[in-house]
Chain A
Amino acid sequence: MLQFSFWDILSNLLIATQWTIVLSLIAFFCGGIVGLVLLFMRTSRIAPLEWFTKIYIEFFQGTPLLMQLFLFFFGIALFGVEVSPWMAATLALTFWTSAFLTEIWRGCVEAIPKGQWEASSSLALSYIEQMRYVILPQASRIAVAPTVGFSVQVIKGTALASIIGFVELTKAGTMLNNATFRPFLVYSLVALIYFCLCFPLSWWAKKIEGRLNVAR
């Protein structure tokens, strides 16, 4: 029988970690772009657009991410379209991320004083122009810390993609456990790797938050 040394286990986990990172980055950036579009819709004061985003956000915040992964993985297959675990995980995580980012960013937009909207309105700027030149440059400063903080949730969220068979860190851990029967060692290493990915981000988020608090 094949024997796994500690280094074999660790190196295999680290190889799978690459996929956790790739999936996190894609989910975060695609989620960010979708989130930005939703943010414009959510704050547009155009009723149908606001309602659509509200329902969208309620759905993705109000159901477990795992169910969303199942829906994308099995749901799209019902229409005869072959969906790879990779595609299903990317889609589900993107939409899930976008819903949370939209809500975080909406809070930041609403933190900008009403006078900024009124002054820019009075200068004949349109809604898009107000957002682009006046509101977002200010809101993005306060958005950095909570956004970086949320990226930790995205990384941890990718672990669920293991259940639909996408081989990332958690799935690799499960497979190695099945081969080695050393669950405590394997899952400790898995947890440690997640921690090494997430801790610098939380630390950075805290640091930015502190810096913004002393800034003008």
Chain B
Amino acid sequence: MSLVSIRDVRKSFGPNEVLKGVSLDIAKGDVVAIIGRSGSGKSTLLRCINGLETYQSGSIVADGIEVAGANTNLRELRRHVGMVFQQFNLFPHLTAAENVMLAPTVVNKVSKAEARATAAEVLAKVGLSEKMDAYPSELSGGQQQRVAIARSLAMRPKVLLCDEITSALDPELVNEVLRVVEQLAREGMTLILVTHEMRFARDVGTKLVFMHHGKVHEEGVPKEVFAAPRTPELQQFVGQVG
């Protein structure tokens, strides 16, 4: 059974339909790279999965929880579905460790000591043990993004959604973040990434999804899809960015 199941999802912003019937199945341990031009609906799709956006028709089931508008148990859903953003969105008034500890203590009612131990563990995993008590403003973009990943990991998510998490970074900082994500993939974390890093999508992804005009235009095993794109749109896209 798939961990995330997306069935014929349609979404419009006003008269502008951005998702025109998207279906996708994601199994446990999959590393799904969603690529496509800006405006193709890939970020919107990702944001529908954890209920940051609502959709008009179709269905999304994530970890057994149906994501469907106002009746969704969003709290339960989001405890198991983590998200990392392009702009990091760390809480600037809290240190790295406090950023990581917030959700476990507030949402899961874990003790401060236990949460701090978890924070130490996940920050070590992203290579920032020595920055536990640094404020976000004292960290580089790459370090901030790694704290943001650690913050999501502290909730022990079943799926991690990554929305263009290297797009706001200076080029020399991209790799340190990608290495962390690659490590997570190796450990078996289920990942859904919207990304512009084609090499990363090919080398680390287990599944590639090319979105075009609000639809899944082509999908398959990344190496095969990149080697022989079937549709002219993907051929052109790969030619431009690859």
Residues of A with Cβ closer than 8 Å to B? 113, 115-116, 118-126, 129, 133-134, 137-138, 141, 216
B205–chain A nearest beta-carbon distance, Å: 22
Provide the bound-state CA to CA distance between A138 and B90, in Å.
Answer: 12
Closest B residue to A129 by beta carbon equals B106
List chain A residues, Cβ under 8 A from B82: 122-123
A197 CB to closest chain B CB (Å) equals 33
Return the chain B residue nearest A140 by Cβ: B93
Binding site for A on B (CB under 8 A): 50, 52, 74-79, 81-83, 85, 87, 89-93, 102-103, 106-107, 137, 148, 151-152, 155
Once A133-B102, A133-B106 are accepted as A-B contacts, the answer to whether A124 and B155 lie under 8 Å apart by CB is: yes
Q: Is the CB of B85 within 8 A of A115?
A: yes
Contact of B107 among A124, A134, A137 (CB under 8 A): A124
By a CB distance below 8 angstroms, the chain A residues around B91 are: 116, 119-120, 134, 138
Interfacial chain A residues near B92, Cβ < 8 Å: 138, 216
Chain A nearest Cβ from B143, distance in angstroms:
16
B75 with A124: CB separation less than 8 A = yes
- State the Cβ distance, A213 to closest chain B Cβ, in Å: 16
A116 to B90, CA, bound (A): 7
In contact, A118 and B107 (Cβ under 8 angstroms): no
Chain B residues, Cβ within 8 Å of A129: 106-107
Complex CA gap A11/B32 in Å reads: 79
> Which of A122, A125, A137, A138 is close to B106, meaning CB atoms less than 8 Å apart?
A125
| Given A125-B107, A134-B91; A118-B78 close (CB under 8 Å) | no
Q: Which residue of B lies closest to A141 (CB)?
A: B93
- Nearest Cβ in chain A — how far from B81, in angstroms? 8
Q: Would B102 and A122 count as touching, CB distance under 8 A?
A: no
In whole angstroms, what is the CA distance A141 to B90 when docked?
17
- Inside 8 A of A133's CB, which chain B residues have their CB? 102, 106
Q: Is there an interface contact between B93 and A123, defined as CB atoms closer than 8 Å? A: no
Least CB distance from A138 to B in Å reads 6
CB pairs A–B below 8 angstroms (15 shown): A116-B91, A118-B52, A118-B89, A119-B148, A120-B91, A121-B52, A121-B78, A122-B50, A122-B81, A123-B102, A123-B155, A124-B78, A124-B107, A133-B106, A134-B102
Cross-chain contact B103 with A125 (CB below 8 angstroms): yes
Given A122-B52, A123-B155, 15 other A-B residues pairs in contact with their CB atoms under 8 A? A118-B89, A119-B85, A119-B148, A122-B50, A122-B83, A122-B152, A123-B103, A123-B151, A123-B152, A126-B75, A129-B106, A134-B102, A138-B92, A216-B92, A216-B137
C-alpha gap A122/B83 in the complex (Å): 6
Least CB distance, A131 to chain B, in whole angstroms: 12
Could you say which residues of chain A place their CB within 8 Å of the CB of B137? Answer: 216
B residues less than 8 Å from A123 (CB atoms): 78, 82, 102-103, 107, 151-152, 155
**Which residues of chain A are within 8 angstroms of B102 by Cβ–Cβ distance?**
123, 125, 133-134
Q: Determine the distance from Cα of A124 to Cα of B75 in the docked complex, in whole angstroms.
A: 5
Q: A134-B91, A138-B92, A216-B137 are in contact. Are A118 and B103 (CB under 8 A)?
A: no
Compute how far the CA of A119 lies from the CA of B102 in the bound complex, rounded to whole angstroms: 12
Closest Cβ of chain A to B169, distance in Å, is: 16
Instruction: Give Cα distance in the complex from A129 to B107, angstroms.
Output: 9
User: Which residues in B have their C-beta under 8 angstroms from that of A116?
Assistant: 89, 91
Q: Note all chain A residues with C-beta closer than 8 A to B155.
A: 123-124
In the complex, the answer to whether B52 meets A124 with C-beta atoms within 8 Å is: no
> In the complex the two chains form, what is the Cα distance from A115 to B85 in whole Å?
8
Q: Which chain A positions have C-beta within 8 A of B83? A: 118-119, 122
Residues of B within 8 A of A134 (CB): 91, 102
A137 CB to closest chain B CB (Å) equals 5
A194 to chain B, nearest CB (A): 37
- For residue A118, which residues in chain B have a CB less than 8 angstroms away from its CB? 52, 83, 85, 89
Q: Give the docked Cα–Cα distance between A190 and B103 (Å).
A: 54
Q: How distant is the Cα of A216 from the Cα of B107 in the complex, in angstroms?
A: 29
- Bound-state CA distance A216–B85 (Å) is 22
Q: Which residue of A lies closest to B81 (CB)?
A: A122
